[in-house]
Chain A
Amino acid sequence: MTDATGQLTTADGKPLKAALAASLATRRRRAFLLVAPLFLFILVSFIVPIGQMLYQSFYNDTFSATAPNLVQWFDEHPAGSEIDESAYAALAADLALMKQEKTAGAAGTRINYDVSGSRSMFTSTARKADKFEPPFKEAILAEEKKWDDPIIWRAMRSASSPFTFDFYLAALDLTRDDSGSIVPVAEGQAIYKTLFWRTLSMSIEITALCLLLGFPIAHLLAVLPMRKAMLLMILVLLPFWTSLLVRTTSWMVLLQSQGVLNDLMVWMGLIGDDGRIQMMYNQTGTIVAMTHILLPFTVLPLYSVMKTIPPSYVRAARSLGATSWTAFRRVYLPQTLPGIGAGGLLVFILAMGYYITPALVGGADGQMISNMIAFHMQKSLNWSLAAALAAMLLAIVLIFFWIYDRLVGIDKMKLG
């Protein structure tokens, strides 16, 4: 029904297009208002703090903000310049400033991340800083002769810019030598690469175990009659609802060398009282406890996928002559892939960042990278290094996510 101008109008004469757009916009606004609280919550409690944390991994101004004169000197003199009297004059001025502002400890801590033992050089020399007179080089070296070590000046140069990748180097067991080129850290000090590998391999092992154990359970849940399935489901969900700490502690009670399992084996005469097996406070303990804790995360997605697979498919395959193994492999298994993918990915990502369980039952060799991140957050207070380690962990998880998307396709994932 078009009028002379060819435009559709509503009953009150407005152009229909505009009226439609207005009503859609109102609806969109209303929908946004509904989502807004959640969006705001995620922004404030999740995105902003994580962003701040990641920012700290490459931005650290504790030295550059407290030593303006040295920053200026490093700007004017390119790397390789001789550390002359003017450099020491800048150092003396900054130390005096640090004394006044009480920042020598902070500046020293920053340099100490690179050069062990340098922190007290800052605090002790700064204490005398207002007594220094030219020539500054002699005055400062008379106070503390380690100041002419080129490695200190190299470290200060690298810290003179608040933007730094030093923490990522440290997180990869790398450091810089006197000349500033990147070299591996000393033999006995390398730790993070080993831990990243261990975290990765343990997570893969745990994921594989969860799938192996979860698959039959999920299948049973899907094919059993309703009543029995419900009972089984409760058995799966009950531990899921139980506190993580309680479950971890229960495993400690079961597996420790004076624990239930060892006592039982001693009582049955399988092992001697002095031959108790160490199943806790090592990698085995961590894998056992984490597999148990993460198992529901594979069972539930697998179950929801298996529930939708009609049993007639396998029956048809069997009636067409497939052996039970072929029918399973060619017909049933491919249909469960979205569940395997979802459960596997979920467990893998959770396992990569697991913290409490390895901390409690990991002992010496069951520690994961998250325990190191916690160590730097809570004990050494080196938050920049913790942030760099966390950023790398995040990157690894994202890489796996990407590989998964490439191989299986994220749209095929089915969580429940």
Chain B
Amino acid sequence: MKKAMMLTTALIATGFAASAQELNVVSWGGAYTVSQVEAYHKPFTEMTGIKVNSIDADNPATPLKAQVEAGNVSIDLADIELSDAIRLCDEGLLEEIDPAMLPAAPDGTPAADDFVPGAIQDCAVANIVWATVVAYDASKFPDNPPSTLADFFDTEKFPGKRGLLKAAKRSLEMALVADGVPGSEVYEVLGTEEGVARALAKLDTIKDSVVWWEAGAQPPQLLADGEVVMTTGYNGRIFNAMIAENKPFNIIWDGAYMDYDLWAIPKGAPHLEDAKKFLAFSTDTQRLADQAKYISYGPARKSSSALVGLYQDGKTEMAPHMPTNPDNLINPIWTDPTFWADHDVELSEKFNAWLAN
């Protein structure tokens, strides 16, 4: 079985067989990959002469799993979500990472203390903190704009269609917070049968008004088309529409759903040493702060915050748009990857069944 898989994958992968001074980095595409190319890839190539190939995937964890299981790895480094980082690490598909290899902060604070809690995992190191937030079209609510997650579920006071990610993860948690559960206690409630029923009941109240989205580029599009008046979305994409494209959108930070994106190295990466070098380089204080110049995702190092300056347009202050800004941390939901590793199957089935009926 494995051999047969290896053979077919080898045939497919011969296309990308890489030479010595190269690094294959897989990420999510769009404005996010652009920010990484500008802040990490280009300076890295300049410094070391190693060419960095940027490859896009819908979810980089999928090709990574396929390649490692087939025993033919062409990926050197992948940008993956926290729950995937923990899951793939537990399954032995990722290289372990020694935090000692990460550079200290400029003031000498060791990396282990400089990163925000949970950002350094056994097999992965976070580069950004990102949030799933509610955004609304301000022109549709001139007098009395919505301000809380509960308002998102209130179609009487704020009539109009809603955009919501078609997935159990995030939808269920946000429904509970809107129903009055504090962000910090969401997973205790969601761990019970009643909690799941409560979340689905809350979602039921807006089910008829929901336009479901799947790709990160959709929410700003839905808002711009007027197809929805309020939607959940990734804060970086909404920021891009607000600032770069001058759309009249606003973000509600109440009940924002916080997650990390992490660098991970697959077992059997063809350029292991270079990949480690790149990982250490791209997660140093300056590089993480540089990335914030291109997209409003928060750097995973505390020491980077002070260096975050203006957006690439040269006039927009980035700090107020960062999910990690203390003013924006209103009742946040911090993702619980262990919970999701355990309950993903069950909750996704329940959510999909609820959706289909």
- Report A's interface with B, CB cutoff 8 A: 44, 48-49, 52, 55, 59, 101-106, 108-109, 112-113, 116-120, 123, 185, 188-191, 194-195, 198, 256-258, 281, 359, 363-365, 367, 372, 375, 377-382
Contacts and interface: CB of A to CB of B under 8 A. Distances in A.
Nearest to B11: A44
B62 A117 contact: no
A117 B343 contact: yes
B226 to A, nearest CB: 4
A119 B352 contact: no
A375 B355 CA distance: 14
B62 A378 contact: yes
A161 B298 CA distance: 47
A381 B91 CA distance: 12
Contact of A120 (B91, B338, B349): B338
Contacts of B46: none
Contacts of B125: none
B92 A117 contact: no
Contact of B226 (A185, A258, A359): A258
Given A106-B90, A189-B349, A381-B65, A258 B344 contact: no
Question: Which 3 A-B residue pairings sit nearest by Cβ, starting from the closest?
Answer: A105-B90, A116-B346, A102-B92
17 contacts: A52-B1, A102-B89, A102-B92, A105-B87, A105-B90, A105-B341, A106-B92, A119-B341, A189-B349, A191-B353, A256-B227, A359-B214, A364-B210, A364-B212, A378-B59, A379-B59, A380-B344
Q: Among the interface residues B90, B207, B342, B350, which one has the most CB atoms of the partner chain A within 10 A?
A: B90
Contacts of B353: 188-191, 194
A106 B59 contact: no
B167 interface: yes
B104 interface: no
A160 B4 CA distance: 23
A116 B347 CA distance: 9
Contact of A363 (B61, B200, B211, B350): B211
A307 B316 CA distance: 67
B356 A365 contact: yes
Given A52-B1, A101-B92, A106-B92, A117 B342 contact: yes
Q: Among the interface residues B88, B89, B211, which one has the most CB atoms of the partner chain A within 10 A?
A: B211
B354 interface: yes
Contacts of B355: 364, 367
B8 interface: yes
Interface residues of B, number: 45
Q: Among the interface residues A52, A101, A364, which one has the most CB atoms of the partner chain B within 10 A?
A: A364
B247 to A, nearest CB: 15
Interface string B47-73: 000000000001101100100000000
Contacts of A112: 341-342, 345
Contacts of A102: 89-92
Interface of B: 1, 4-5, 8, 11, 58-59, 61-62, 65, 87-92, 161, 166-167, 200, 207, 210-212, 214, 225-227, 338, 341-350, 352-357
Contacts of A380: 344-345, 348
A123 B123 CA distance: 15
Q: Among the interface residues A44, A104, A105, A365, which one has the most CB atoms of the partner chain B within 10 A?
A: A105
A188 B331 CA distance: 30
Contact of B352 (A120, A185, A191): A191
Contacts of A123: 90, 341
A171 B345 CA distance: 13
A378 B63 CA distance: 9
Contacts of B58: 378
Contact of B90 (A104, A256, A364): A104
Contacts of B354: 188
A109 B87 contact: yes
Given A55-B1, A117-B343, 14 more contacts: A101-B92, A102-B89, A105-B92, A108-B90, A109-B341, A188-B354, A189-B349, A189-B350, A191-B352, A195-B356, A363-B212, A364-B166, A378-B62, A379-B167
Contact of A116 (B161, B214, B342, B352): B342
Contacts of B211: 281, 363
A105 B88 CA distance: 8
A117 B346 contact: yes
Contact of A105 (B5, B91, B352, B357): B91
A155 B245 CA distance: 53
A87 to B, nearest CB: 23
Contacts of A59: 1
A62 to B, nearest CB: 8
Given A191-B352, A194-B356, A120 B8 contact: no
Given A52-B8, A59-B1, A378-B62, A116 B345 contact: yes
Given A52-B5, A256-B227, A375 B352 contact: yes
Q: Among the interface residues A103, A104, A257, which one has the most CB atoms of the partner chain B within 10 A?
A: A257
Contacts of A381: 61-62, 65
Contacts of B356: 191, 194-195, 198, 364-365, 367
B225 A258 contact: yes
Nearest to B197: A188
Contacts of B92: 101-103, 105-106
Contacts of A367: 355-356
Nearest to A362: B212
Nearest to A198: B356
B59 A191 contact: no
A102 B346 CA distance: 24
B218 to A, nearest CB: 10
B4 A52 contact: yes
Contacts of B5: 52
A249 to B, nearest CB: 11
A398 B1 CA distance: 26
Contacts of A185: 349
Given A189-B350, A258-B227, A381-B62, A49 B342 contact: no
Q: Among the interface residues A119, A120, A258, which one has the most CB atoms of the partner chain B within 10 A?
A: A119
Q: Among the interface residues A103, A117, A118, A377, which one has the most CB atoms of the partner chain B within 10 A?
A: A117
A118 B8 CA distance: 34
Q: Among the interface residues B58, B88, B225, B345, which one has the most CB atoms of the partner chain A within 10 A?
A: B345
Nearest to A190: B353
Contacts of A118: 342
A372 B352 contact: yes
A405 to B, nearest CB: 32
A119 B212 CA distance: 30
